[in-house]
Amino acid sequence: MTIDSGTRLTALFGDPIAHSVSPAMHNAAFRHSGLNFTYLAFRVTESGLEAALEAVRALNIRGINLTIPHKTAALPLLDEVTESARRVGAVNTIVNDNGRLKGHNTDVSGFLTALRGHGFNSAGRKAVVLGAGGAARAVVFALRDAGAAVTVLNRTPAKAAELAAATGAIAGDLGESSVNTALDGAELLINATSVGLYPESEVSPLADYRLKPGLTVMDTIYRPRRTRLLADAQAAGCRVIDGLDMLVAQGAESFELWTGRSPDRTIMLRAAEEALR
Ligand code: NDP
């Protein structure tokens, strides 16, 4: 790929960003599509976000992905936010049209695309979501929109209650009785906490005896790909879905928003897998 004066820049803003496979994934897709675009990762601290977004305007950077800790903080700093991102309260993708910054949330549809890709139709199904942070918000809104009955369980119950109230879900904590009630009759379990994320890869947000055949278990974590939860779920006879499909799906939608072209998702997946190795 040649970098020249016509190259359009896209980038990730977050802190930390060293673990991210998004640069590898997007640059592979740009190369494969023959687009004169490139993608970099910038460590932007919480206090640096406003200045960084001003730089996006000043330097005419085409697009941005936001990750921890910026997804919510960015909302008031943008010129426009899609209704979906505003409802979720989080932006993970920004498109810059001549200095006008519009925020989108591709985690919501990316999550559903990943789930559907594994043949899981959420309508009328009972789902349990662990966590009430940024990823969990996208997952719960997506599942509710798709017609699932959702229970949100979180370490800090007040955050689960707030998310449940906003989405028409049921809230609970991670205690034994809440977990048992929630899992009774559930067909889908999603881990949207950061429990099990590298380097603390040996911990699971749920004891393995709670996992039963018939349950589909998805982890939003993709580093490691096979989390402790997914290993336990597989051993218990559950169907498992790792976090990489969601990463690729949300990334592909960002790519489309920036370039107007559809990327090759297999190329993106292979590049992400390679970067993880
Ligand atoms: P947040 O910091 O917003 O939320 C973290 C969540 O994890 C909270 O619900 C928090 O509970 C819970 N949590 C953290 N530590 C513990 C613990 N020790 N025990 C129980 N619960 C805990 O992070 P995000 O929502 O942005 O990210 C969560 C995960 O989702 C990350 O692992 C990230 O990698 C993944 N992700 C994956 C994506 C993909 O495309 N595959 C996209 C986005 C995120 P509490 O409220 O009590 O603090």
Over residues 108-125, the pLDDT tens digits come to 999 999 999 999 999 999
Question: pLDDT > 90: what percent of the chain?
Answer: 96
Place of tokens 């798709």: 146
Q: Is the pLDDT of residue 1 over 80?
A: no
Measure 193 CA to ligand 1 centroid, in angstroms. 3
Measure 58 CA to ligand 1 centroid, in angstroms. 33
Residues with active-site annotation: 71
Lowest model confidence (mean pLDDT) among 47-56, 149-158, 207-216, 236-245: 207-216
Pocket of ligand 1 (CB under 6 A): 68, 107, 131-136, 154-156, 159, 192-195, 197, 220-222, 243, 246-247, 250
Check residue 248 and give its pLDDT.
98
CA–CA separation, 22 and 41 (whole Å): 8
Measure 99 CA to ligand 1 centroid, in angstroms. 32
DSSP code string of 218-263: EES--SSSS-HHHHHHHHTT-EEE-THHHHHHHHHHHHHHHHSS--
Contact between residue 12 and residue 23 where contact means Cβ atoms under 8 Å apart? yes
Measure 157 CA to ligand 1 centroid, in angstroms. 14
Check residue 129 and give its pLDDT.
98
Mean pLDDT (whole number) for 177-199: 95
For residue range 46-83, what is the model confidence (pLDDT) as tens digits? 999 999 999 999 999 999 999 999 999 999 999 999 99
Phi, psi (rounded to 5 degrees) for 246: -70, -40
pLDDT range class, residue 20, cuts 50, 70, 90: very high
Closest atom of ligand 1 to 110 CA is: 40
CA angle 234, 191, 127 (to 5 degrees): 90
Check residue 41 and give its pLDDT.
98
pLDDT range class, residue 276, cuts 50, 70, 90: very high
For residue range 74-109, what is the model confidence (pLDDT) as tens digits? 999 999 999 999 999 999 999 999 999 999 999 999
Residues 6+ apart with CB under 8 A from 134: 68, 71, 72, 90, 107
Q: What is the mean pLDDT of the chain?
A: 96
Q: Report the amino acid identity of residue 17.
A: I
Q: Is the pLDDT of residue 216 over 90?
A: yes
Check residue 76 and give its pLDDT.
98
Closest atom of ligand 1 to 111 CA is: 40
205: DSSP letter: S
pTM for this entry: 0.94
Reduce the DSSP state of residue 183 to 3 states and report it: helix
pLDDT range class, residue 263, cuts 50, 70, 90: very high
CA angle 270, 220, 212 (to 5 degrees): 110
Given ligand 1 and candidates 93, 112, 139, 155, which is best to mutate, with the most ligand atoms within 8 Å of its CB?
Answer: 155
* Cβ neighbourhood burial of 175 (10 Å; 0-12, 13-18, 19+): exposed
Check residue 208 and give its pLDDT.
82
| Secondary structure element (H or E) that encloses residue 65, with its range | strand 63-66
Sign of the C-alpha dihedral, residues 217, 223, 224, 227? negative
Tell me the residue length of the chain.
Answer: 277
Check residue 258 and give its pLDDT.
98
Check residue 209 and give its pLDDT.
79
Residue whose C-alpha is closest to residue 275's, from 18, 2, 1, 13:
18
pLDDT range class, residue 38, cuts 50, 70, 90: very high
Check residue 232 and give its pLDDT.
96
